[in-house]
Amino acid sequence: MLRLARRLLLALAAGTAITSPWAAMPAQAQQSFPNRTLTVIVPFAAGGPTDTVSRLVAEAMGRDLGQTMVVENVGGAGGTLGAQRVANARPDGHTVLLHHIGMATTPTLYRRLAYDPVNGFEPIGLVTEVPMTLVARNNFPATTLAEAVAIIRRDRDKLNYANAGIGAASHLCGLLLMSAVDAPMTTVPFRGTGPAMQELLAGRIDLMCDQTTNTTEQILGHQLKVFAVTTAARIGALPNVPTSAEGGLPAFEVSVWHGLYAPRGTSAEIVNRLSQSLQVALRDPRLVARFRELGTEPVATERATPAAHRAFWTADIAKWRPIIQAAGQYAD
């Protein structure tokens, strides 16, 4: 992402260390894990991109683990409500979080949280890195990125832009866009881009930047306008959609990494079992095919491990911290 754009961004100084209510519990014996239904908390509304990824992962992991893995949507506050739920959950591996790049920005963006956004979790493995697309209502009067940029600059006071709250990928991508074209727009926050998409399709929202896992089918169905895919190269699912660079905005480049987390205190054995299952899920032909249709792909197996996830997450927190601090824009 653009260095300049990043400066415009977000949020936090250092979460207060919160002690887990389960911290004093003796280590959980983990004979026969899992021994009941597992729950994946998705910190955004149903029908959105993180929900879509999570349902595919949950279904495939459930097959491997021999237990149903259900998805529960706990949206709101840019993903922090769902993350809080998992940070405070019993650390027995039956409740996990599937969250995205927001896990790297929240620790700086939000200065007051009722959970520890870093130490409250055990990373299990990375899942996928999803390209984004800049889309608009179907009657938006532009067909190319250059035309859209001209309209955004001209009508900046009249246009609205949907996002899924501060720290959501759609928020970060929107800030990047507004910085790249030097035109702030009114933003309308939703509990996820699933509900935001409904408003865009209805023509009540003008623009949104969202992950291909939530936009590909609508783009292919000609239900909305698309101006760019925010990756360095075009993607297989949307071969006719130009990249931001082709459209004249090379700095408008971003993809959204996702990872799976257990609450702090979950035993290494259980975290490793979940990681193995995630690796199996990410090789599942049904999941791979569906990811591909939606414009994304699973990470390589070696990245779906606790160590690789922790290293990547830690580096991304460090990458975002100075940007957010320089921008001085905090969620609170």
Residues that bind ligand ASP (CB under 6 A): 44-45, 48-51, 100, 163-164, 168-170, 192-194
Whether cis (ω within 30° of 0) applies to the bond prior to 34 is yes
CA distance 80 to 101: 12
**CB of 279 vs ligand ASP, minimal distance in Å:** 23
**CB of 224 vs ligand ASP, minimal distance in Å:** 16
Closest CA to 259 of 310, 194, 324, 318: 310
What tokens were used for 2?
A: 């653009």
Q: Which is nearer to ligand ASP, 266 or 296 (CB)?
A: 296
CA distance 275 to 270: 8
**CB of 316 vs ligand ASP, minimal distance in Å:** 15
Q: Which is nearer to ligand ASP, 187 or 193 (CB)?
A: 193
CA distance 134 to 138: 12
CA distance 327 to 137: 30
**CB of 308 vs ligand ASP, minimal distance in Å:** 22
Q: Which is nearer to ligand ASP, 133 or 305 (CB)?
A: 133
Q: Which is nearer to ligand ASP, 149 or 169 (CB)?
A: 169
Q: Which is nearer to ligand ASP, 192 or 306 (CB)?
A: 192
Torsion, Cα 79 117 113 20, to 10 degrees, reads 120
Residue 279 makes CB contacts below 8 A (sequence gap 6+) with: 125, 301, 304, 305
Q: Which is nearer to ligand ASP, 208 or 308 (CB)?
A: 208
**CB of 90 vs ligand ASP, minimal distance in Å:** 25
**CB of 216 vs ligand ASP, minimal distance in Å:** 14
Residue 92 makes CB contacts below 8 A (sequence gap 6+) with: 28, 30, 33, 266, 270
**CB of 213 vs ligand ASP, minimal distance in Å:** 8
Residue 307 makes CB contacts below 8 A (sequence gap 6+) with: none
Q: Which is nearer to ligand ASP, 113 or 130 (CB)?
A: 130
- Measured at the alpha carbon of residue 57, what is the angle toward residues 120 and 196, in degrees to the nearest 5? 80
Q: Which is nearer to ligand ASP, 80 or 193 (CB)?
A: 193
- Segments of the chain assigned E as strands: 38-42, 69-73, 95-100, 121-136, 160-163, 186-189, 207-211, 225-229, 255-263
Residue 136 makes CB contacts below 8 A (sequence gap 6+) with: 142, 148, 200, 206, 207, 208, 224, 225, 226, 227
**CB of 174 vs ligand ASP, minimal distance in Å:** 9
